[in-house]
């Protein structure tokens, strides 16, 4: 059968678009693998390994534009001996994911940090729900997270529903609580009219650069950790990027149950007449990824310090060192610049499925012009 799939390794650029890389074995060239389906196929490709070669003639992958069809005719292959996924229909796609996930797809995610599936026949929320199931990861209940979300179907929720003109800063998903997802999926149900990319960045690069530039700051961070503080109303506030109310945060309307669930997270609650203050920490801001043998910048420091702002919250008070002392504004600003310099932005197309290893990659959201509807699913 025709080999009609392509894998492209991409690396960060200051402008944040995706660009193919001539040497995929260079460490900095591997924050994401893009697997595209360019034409229909009935079987899996058994192509041998391919680890080099020149980038595609068209170079960058820009919004609304797929890799050139000529690439498939030249027989470009997946790296590391990986086989592409069949694309005949939804059932074939799901069957291929099940058969290839352990031997082929998961190694790609482990190697790169993120995997983008583009052009496959998952087009609806229900298709996405089944695709997540096909990967075999156990669902993680969304307890303790800050983003307002709505359940769509099965284990699928909307991504952060904050207003489109608001940028969501870089963060590891649920880094402010001890129970966080190891993997998260995003799905593009409605392609953005303009903007709305999801930038991603390798966490160990951020740690390395911060350690080199601010060794004393990082030493204190590793010693003391961080405290995250957030004030929640009773119900959700869709105008805020952190507008999840306490009832949906703890999945209950009973304050006693909320107290119990908060205690399991190590979170303190201070109730008021119209809401509750949550205090989480000290909690580590740098973790060691044992599976890869490296330290990672596992926190939501920049997101909290610059983005946890609404009628109830002041960002500067949202995150402090674990001893309660304030974070230096200049260091936070420089960290934000490093994140932007190291990132690659994923421009969404309808049907895209993005799998992120939360141990490897921070992500964010750029502002956009509606419509845009991205769905999400969290996995243990």
- Asked if residue 56 and residue 76 are part of one domain, the reply reads yes
How many Å apart are CA 123 and CA 348, to the nearest integer? 13
What is residue 29's DSSP assignment?
A: G
Please name the residues in contact with 280: beta carbons below 8 A apart, sequence gap of 6 or more.
144, 176, 177, 227, 228, 229, 265, 266, 267, 268
Tokens representing residue 97 in the block = 């994911």
Examine residue 167 and state whether it is found in any structural domain, yes or no: no
pLDDT for residue 133: 98
> What gap in Å lies between CA 237 and CA 161, rounded to an integer?
10
Residue 35: predicted pLDDT: 77
All residues at 6 or more sequence positions from 205 whose CB lies less than 8 Å from its CB, including other chains: 28, 342
Distance CA 49, CA 47 (A): 7
For position 62, what pLDDT does the model report?
Answer: 26
- Average pLDDT per block of 10 residues along the chain, 380 residues long: 37 36 38 60 27 28 29 29 52 93 93 93 97 97 74 94 91 94 98 96 97 99 98 90 90 96 95 96 98 98 93 92 98 98 94 97 97 97
Query: What's the pLDDT score for residue 162?
Result: 84
pTM over 0.75: yes
Task: In whole angstroms, give the CA distance from residue 378 to residue 330.
Answer: 33
pLDDT recorded at residue 19:
34
- The pLDDT of residue 319 is 98
Residues 189 and 229 both lie in one domain: no
pLDDT of residue 87: 46
DSSP states of 158-171: E-----TTSPEEEE
- For tokens 């402090």, the residue is 320
| Pure H helices in 21-119 | 69-73, 90-100, 106-112
Distance CA 246, CA 305 (A): 21
Say whether 41 sits in a helix, a strand or coil: coil
Cα angle 267-305-259, degrees, rounded to a multiple of 5: 15
- Residue 287's domain is classified under what CATH number? 3.60.130.10
Task: Verify that 327 and 359 share a domain, yes or no.
Answer: no
Q: Are residues 39 and 125 in the same domain?
A: yes
> Are residue 35 and residue 106 in the same domain, yes or no?
yes
Residues 100, 117 contacting (CB under 8 angstroms):
no
pLDDT in tens, 107-147: 999 999 999 999 999 999 999 999 999 999 999 987 766 66
Verify that 356 and 325 share a domain, yes or no.
Answer: no
Q: Is residue 240 in some structural domain?
A: yes
Residue 21: other Cβ atoms inside 10 A: 16
Domain of 58 in residue numbering reads as 5-162+181-193+345-379
Alpha carbon of residue 367 to chain centroid: 16
Q: Tell whether 26 is covered by a domain.
A: yes
Same domain, 26 and 61: yes
* pLDDT at site 144: 66
Diameter of the chain by CA atoms? 66
Same domain, 228 and 120: no
């Amino acid at each position: 059968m025709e080999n009609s799939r392509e894998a492209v390794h991409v690396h960060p650029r200051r402008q944040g678009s995706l660009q193919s890389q001539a040497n995929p074995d260079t460490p900095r060239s591997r924050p994401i693998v893009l697997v595209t389906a360019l034409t229909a196929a009935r079987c899996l490709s058994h192509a041998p390994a391919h680890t080099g070669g020149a980038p595609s003639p068209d170079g960058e992958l820009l919004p609304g534009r797929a890799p050139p069809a000529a690439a498939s005719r030249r027989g470009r292959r997946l790296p590391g001996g990986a086989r592409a996924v069949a694309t005949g229909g939804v059932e074939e796609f799901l069957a291929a994911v099940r058969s290839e996930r352990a031997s082929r797809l998961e190694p790609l995610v482990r190697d790169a940090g993120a995997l983008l599936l583009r052009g496959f026949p998952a087009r609806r929320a229900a298709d996405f729900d089944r695709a997540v199931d096909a990967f075999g990861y156990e669902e993680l209940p969304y307890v303790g997270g800050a983003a307002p979300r709505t359940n769509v179907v099965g284990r699928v929720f909307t991504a952060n529903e904050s207003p489109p003109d608001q940028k969501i800063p870089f963060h590891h998903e649920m880094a402010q609580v001890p129970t966080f997802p190891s993997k998260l999926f995003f799905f593009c149900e409605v392609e953005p009219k303009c903007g709305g990319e999801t930038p991603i960045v390798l966490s160990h690069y951020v740690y390395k650069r911060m350690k080199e530039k601010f060794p004393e700051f990082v030493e204190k961070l590793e010693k003391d950790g961080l405290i995250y503080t957030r004030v929640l109303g009773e119900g959700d506030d869709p105008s805020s990027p952190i507008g999840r109310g306490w009832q949906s945060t703890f999945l209950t309307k009973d304050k006693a149950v909320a107290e119990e669930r908060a205690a399991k997270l190590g979170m303190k609650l201070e109730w008021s007449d119209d809401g509750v203050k949550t205090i989480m920490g000290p909690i580590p801001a740098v973790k060691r990824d044992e599976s890869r043998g490296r330290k990672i910048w596992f926190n939501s420091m920049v997101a909290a310090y610059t983005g946890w702002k609404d009628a109830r919250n002041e960002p500067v008070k949202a995150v402090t060192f674990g001893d309660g002392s304030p974070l230096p504004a200049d260091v936070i600003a420089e960290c934000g610049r490093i994140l932007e310099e190291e990132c690659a932005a994923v421009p969404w197309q309808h049907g895209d499925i993005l799998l992120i290893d939360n141990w490897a990659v921070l992500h964010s959201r750029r502002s956009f012009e509606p419509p845009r509807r991205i769905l999400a699913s969290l996995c243990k």
